[in-house]
Structure 1
Amino acid sequence: MAELSRLPGPVMDLWEWQFEGACRDLDDSMFFHPEGERGAARRRRIEAAKAVCNSCPVMMQCREQALAIREPYGVWGGLSEEEREAIIAQRRAARLTVAG
């Protein structure tokens, strides 16, 4: 589950970018895997979702939002669940290196 404590308050200016999303009118199933989806089917769905993201004018806002709240499911901002986890781990390691 996303860490709700990291979500910003309901300020329209912070969320207005979502109205420009290329995914806005698409079926959610394109971005979120059904239970049991694996292998080639999962890779194809992820690649199709990323293709939508790559044409999106707000891809970076979406990506940073998903990383900020540690969104655990789906393709967001052109990144899969695993890719976001890796970036979050890299950022955490970088902070520890700087702090340590």
Structure 2
Amino acid sequence: MMRHLVLFKLNEGVERDDPRVVAGVEAFRALDGKIPEIRFWELGWNVSDRPIAYDFAINSGFDDAESLRAYVEHPEHQAGVALWREFATWVIADYAY
């Protein structure tokens, strides 16, 4: 199994209620069920107020590296990534478990 973690940081001046952010969240929320390789899918806003905290997270699981690659390359995923590029930066970690 592969785990795919993504932590997003909204750009300076961008708030959660920005219409672009709302559309970006909904685009990623909708991926569960659209991309058959996804085995586990959760996402949400950070609740910590610590200064080092990121703003939004996706935690997802896949059968193997090939399934993860198929997800990353999937047009629906790429469309969501394009939205997020407008207002955020992110870091990822992919690991086998």
The two structures have a TM-score, normalised by structure 1, of: 0.30
Question: If each structure's helix is expressed as a fraction of its own residues, which one has the higher value?
Answer: 1
- Who wins on radius of gyration, i.e. which is larger? 1
Higher relative contact order at CA 8 Å, sep ≥6: structure 1 or structure 2?
Answer: 2
TM-score (structure 2 length as normaliser): 0.31
Query: Which one has a larger percent strand, Structure 1 or Structure 2?
Result: 2
